């Protein structure tokens, strides 16, 4: 066998092996480089998206907190066409154009107030930057006014403007190649009914709501079907709510509706373990609804009371609109422009107080003995200051008679901003609303209350039936919290 012919094979094999190794090394280098670039691109795009979302949050905070809503002397609502979506400028150089605030290069800002444009273009409002290690993330935003309307919230004399904005945030992150992301979201504030429950207690602890002794809820429709001079009630929609716990006992204690609360579970309640419902007896026909968060009711704005007292067994004070006939005292705010201011109103035994339609700004209202509070005409709105503490409204000593033929609870309203005590008493014709989100209140007597009540703590241990008017969902409103929604993301 001639071995000379095999000389150099090892060299050729070594060369092939080196070539293969080189190809593999080059391939691994390209793969590592591609992975590095891919990771870096992902990191840059993620940082750009985070920066864009940060721009959305920063601009939303500016619009919710710093920005002054239209409706002032310097920025009247007449400067906006609110009958179209998006809102447009009705006059001037921007007539027929969408109303836009912008700090994005290439997107024009045409907001009618130049000082607002300048404030939006400042760092920390419509533009800014964030630091991520050694990397700087830049963002710029624009805000288009989608819609705008005004309401006067229940318990406030002042109208508020409710806007809806479309916010666009463009963010960039510098690198070997600049990463850019754009995020769009809608900032809106809903208008929500104030009275959505027959009774609501804002306290977040145990026994925030207490029903016993036959206390119950149901519902009716004001202006609807009547039977025996009273509305026909339904064993449904008598919903109740609390930020804390419901305690029921006694038989038959029936909530003809649901219980809404951020709390969960049933059983014994303690400070460290606040359950939704503690029941030694009673029924909630609609079951439990777990709220995503606590419900916050705005504190009402209460005007200052007057300086004169009124006791129904005495003579009228030196007050226009006060008349006395025998054991009856009548107050008529129409004689003084629709509003009457008194300090303390005390109704003594066997004496009646008649109120005519209007607004009453008072300090306290108390019944002593067998007396009657009679509404001759409606609506009657009582704003209670409650200076001095104690029981600031006490209607447990008599009855409240509301002649509203439709049993409309808007016809009689009691509003109180303080933290003291209110005591109510139902009756065959007790129709009204109690709005006292910081106060403790209770019902006395085995009677009826047509309408709704809101307080901090509520006790109904005397068998009072609270009949919720379903029409309240369309009558009294509150401006709800701002919410961000409708997020979209894209590269640009």
Q: What is the pLDDT of residues 182-218, one digit of tens each?
A: 999 999 988 999 999 999 999 999 999 999 888 899 9
Give the rounded distance of the alpha carbon of 420 from its chain centre.
23
pLDDT tens for the chain, residues 1 to 492? 555 666 666 777 777 777 777 777 667 666 656 555 556 566 777 788 888 899 999 999 999 999 988 887 678 888 888 999 899 886 555 556 889 999 988 777 888 888 888 899 888 888 988 887 777 888 999 999 999 998 999 988 888 889 999 999 998 887 656 778 899 999 998 899 999 999 999 999 999 999 988 889 999 999 999 998 899 999 999 999 999 999 998 777 899 999 999 999 999 999 989 999 998 788 999 999 999 999 999 999 999 999 999 987 677 888 899 998 888 899 999 999 999 999 999 988 777 899 999 999 999 999 877 788 899 999 999 999 999 889 999 988 767 888 777 899 999 999 999 999 999 876 667 899 999 999 999 887 777 899 999 999 999 887 889 999 999 998 889 988 899 988 888 776
**CA 102 to CA 354: how far, in whole Å?**
58
C-alpha closest to that of 77 among 90, 86, 67: 90
Torsion, Cα of 160, 155, 202, 434 (10° steps):
-160
Residues 334, 321 contacting (CB under 8 angstroms): yes
Q: State the pLDDT at residue 404.
A: 75
**CA 324 to CA 283: how far, in whole Å?**
48
End-to-end CA distance of the chain: 73
Torsion, Cα of 287, 477, 451, 413 (10° steps):
150
Q: State the pLDDT at residue 313.
A: 67
Q: Which residues contact 185 (CB under 8 A, 6 or more apart)?
A: 56, 60, 166, 167, 484, 485, 486, 487, 488
Residues 423, 397 contacting (CB under 8 angstroms): no
**CA 62 to CA 59: how far, in whole Å?**
5
Q: Residues 321-376: pLDDT tens digits? A: 999 888 889 999 999 999 999 999 998 877 789 999 999 999 999 987 778 889 99
Rg of the chain over CA atoms, in angstroms?
34
What are the CB-based long-range contacts (under 8 Å, 24+) for 462-465? Answer: 462/213, 462/215, 463/213, 463/214, 463/215, 464/215, 464/426, 465/215, 465/216, 465/217, 465/218, 465/426
β-pairing verdict for 339-341 and 310-311: unpaired
Q: Which residues contact 87 (CB under 8 A, 6 or more apart)?
A: 80, 81, 98, 99, 145, 146, 147, 148
C-alpha closest to that of 431 among 478, 371, 380, 370: 380
Give the tokens for residue 69: 């809503």
Q: Which residues contact 428 (CB under 8 A, 6 or more apart)?
A: 230, 447, 448
Q: Three-state DSSP class for 101?
A: strand
Furthest C-alpha separation in the chain: 147
Q: State the pLDDT at residue 345.
A: 92
Task: Count other Cβ atoms within 10 Å, centred on residue 187.
Answer: 22
The three-point CA angle 85-125-57 to 5° equals 75
C-alpha closest to that of 346 among 333, 362, 334: 362
C-alpha closest to that of 138 among 186, 187, 179, 185: 179
C-alpha closest to that of 292 among 315, 321, 257, 263: 263
Beta-bridge mates of residue 74: none
Residues 244, 204 contacting (CB under 8 angstroms): yes
Give the rounded distance of the alpha carbon of 1 from its chain centre.
101
Residues 442, 408 contacting (CB under 8 angstroms): no
Q: Which pTM does this prediction carry? A: 0.81
Report in angstroms the alpha-carbon separations of 287 from 59, 208, 258, 290, 464: 40, 18, 5, 10, 21
């Amino acid at each position: 066998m001639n071995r000379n012919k095999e000389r150099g094979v090892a060299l050729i094999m070594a060369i092939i092996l080196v070539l293969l190794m080189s190809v593999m090394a080059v391939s691994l280098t390209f793969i590592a480089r591609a992975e590095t670039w891919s990771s870096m691109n992902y990191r840059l795009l993620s940082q750009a998206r985070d920066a864009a979302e940060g721009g959305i949050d920063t601009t939303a905070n500016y619009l919710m907190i710093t920005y002054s809503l239209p409706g002032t002397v310097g920025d009247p609502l007449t400067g906006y066409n609110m009958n179209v979506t998006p809102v447009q400028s009705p006059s001037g150089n921007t007539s027929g154009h969408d109303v836009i605030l912008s700090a994005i290069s290439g997107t024009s800002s045409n907001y009618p107030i130049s000082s607002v444009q300048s404030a939006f273009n400042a760092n920390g409002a419509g533009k800014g930057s964030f630091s991520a290690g050694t990397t700087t993330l830049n963002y710029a935003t624009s805000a288009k006014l989608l819609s705008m309307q005004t309401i006067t919230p229940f318990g406030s004399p002042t109208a508020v403007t409710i806007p809806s904005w479309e916010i666009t945030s463009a963010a960039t992150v510098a690198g070997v190649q600049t990463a850019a992301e754009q995020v769009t979201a809608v900032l809106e504030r809903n208008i929500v009914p104030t009275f959505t429950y027959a009774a609501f207690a804002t306290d977040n602890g145990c026994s925030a709501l207490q029903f016993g002794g036959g206390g119950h809820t149901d519902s009716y429709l004001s202006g609807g079907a009547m039977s025996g001079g009273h509305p026909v009630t339904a064993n449904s929609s008598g919903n109740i709510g609390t930020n804390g716990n419901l305690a029921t006992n006694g038989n038959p204690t029936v909530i003809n509706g649901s219980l809404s609360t951020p709390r969960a579970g049933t059983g014994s309640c303690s400070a460290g373990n606040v359950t939704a419902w503690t029941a030694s007896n009673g029924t909630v026909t609609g079951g439990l609804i777990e709220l995503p968060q606590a419900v916050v009711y705005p504190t009402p704005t209460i005007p200052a009371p007057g300086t004169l007292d009124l006791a129904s067994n005495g003579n009228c004070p030196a007050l226009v609109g006060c008349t006395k006939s025998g054991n009856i005292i009548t107050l008529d705010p129409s004689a003084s422009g629709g509003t009457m201011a008194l300090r303390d109103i005390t109704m003594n035994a066997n004496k009646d107080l008649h109120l005519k339609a209007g607004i009453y700004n008072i300090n306290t209202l108390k019944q002593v003995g067998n007396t009657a509070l009679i509404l001759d005409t409606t609506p009657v709105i009582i704003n209670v200051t409650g200076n001095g503490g104690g029981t600031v409204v006490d209607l447990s000593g008599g009855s409240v008679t509301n002649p509203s033929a439709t049993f409309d609870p808007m016809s009689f309203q009691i509003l109180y901003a303080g933290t003291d005590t209110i005591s109510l008493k139902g009756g065959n014709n007790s129709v009204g609303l109690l709005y006292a989100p910081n106060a403790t209140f209770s019902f006395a007597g085995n009677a009826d209350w047509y309408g709704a009540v809101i307080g901090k703590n509520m006790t109904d241990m005397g068998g009072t039936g609270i009949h919720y008017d379903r029409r309240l969902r369309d009558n009294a409103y509150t401006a709800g919290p701002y919410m961000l929604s409708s997020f979209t993301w894209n590269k640009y």
